[in-house]
Amino acid sequence: MAAKLLGAVPLEAVTAVLLSHLHPDHWHDLPALRHALRSRAGHRLGRHVVAPLPLYVPGEPRELFTQISSYQEVFAVQAIEELSPVCGGKAGGEGDFTAHLGAARVCFYRTRHVLPAYCLEVVLGASRLIYTGDTAWWDGLADLAAGADLLLAEASLLNVDRPLLPGDHLTAAEAGRLAREAGVKRLVLTHFWPEYDLEELRREAQTEFGGEVILAREGEVYRF
């Protein structure tokens, strides 16, 4: 994924990294990005020419956080739980945190997942992006996403397969329902399992949403 990212934007354009949680599909490419940053920073020659890149990451599981914290030569590692707990007064629940990245404000809302995980809200001027992260449906999610310009929602499985999971992920139908109840302007589905026909996921979400449903593609850039 680091290679795909750097195919879409130059390394210099990456100004921060936000990790929703520490399952391998969400962070295992970090060492590859670290390697690219180490090369850029001239560490092989012992020169420090670039400031560490801000990296926001859950503080649990502790052993993974400790490992990632050791990448400090290129990342300024920040535990999400040590951020300010104020999120514009919107959700205000325990486990909600906020940070400022340049002109953007980012809020992290704790989701319902097997590991500590966060839904991300990025506010830039009058525009808002909501990324669900990995999560089961939870009350308040539609309120959080209300009126978002872009909703990036996980759609891990079809509704018919819901009994297979203990409630850690959204179905495509739930992603569509979320988009409809929140009245978002655009819905992009992500977090696909390889066994699925993506068109089937898209149709299920569309039936619930009623608006256009976009399937996320590697290398594509989504603006909000």
Closer by beta carbon to Zn ion, 96 or else 134: 134
Report helix, strand or coil for 214: strand
Residue 20: CB minimum distance to Zn ion, A: 8
Residue 26: CB minimum distance to Zn ion, A: 5
| Crossing angle (nearest 10°) for helices 198-209 and 172-182 | 30
Q: What is the DSSP string of 128-148?
A: EEEE--S----TTHHHHHTT-
Q: Which span (47-55, 75-83, 129-137, 199-207) binds Zn ion, by CB under 5 A?
A: 129-137
Instruction: Report how far residue 4's alpha carbon sits from residue 7's, in angstroms, rounded to the nearest whole number.
Output: 5
Q: Which span (17-25, 54-62, 64-72, 200-208) binds Zn ion, by CB under 5 A?
A: 17-25
DSSP 52: P
Residue 19: CB minimum distance to Zn ion, A: 11
Closer by beta carbon to Zn ion, 74 or else 155: 155
Residue closest to 133 by CA, chosen among 19, 17, 209, 4:
19
Residue 11: CB minimum distance to Zn ion, A: 25
Identify the residue among 6, 23, 137, 138 touching Zn ion (CB under 5 A): 23
20 binds Zn ion per the rule CB under 5 A: no
Closer by beta carbon to Zn ion, 98 or else 135: 135
Q: What is the DSSP string of 173-207?
A: HHHHHHHHHHT-S-EEEE---TTS-HHHHHHHHHH
The two structure tokens encoding residue 101: 């990245």
Closer by beta carbon to Zn ion, 30 or else 74: 30
Residue 73: CB minimum distance to Zn ion, A: 27
Instruction: Report how far residue 46's alpha carbon sits from residue 184's, in angstroms, rounded to the nearest whole number.
Output: 48
Identify the residue among 96, 121, 134, 204 touching Zn ion (CB under 5 A): 134
Residue 98: CB minimum distance to Zn ion, A: 22
Closer by beta carbon to Zn ion, 134 or else 208: 134
* Size of the chain in residues: 224
State the residues that interact with Zn ion by CB under 5 A.
23, 25, 134
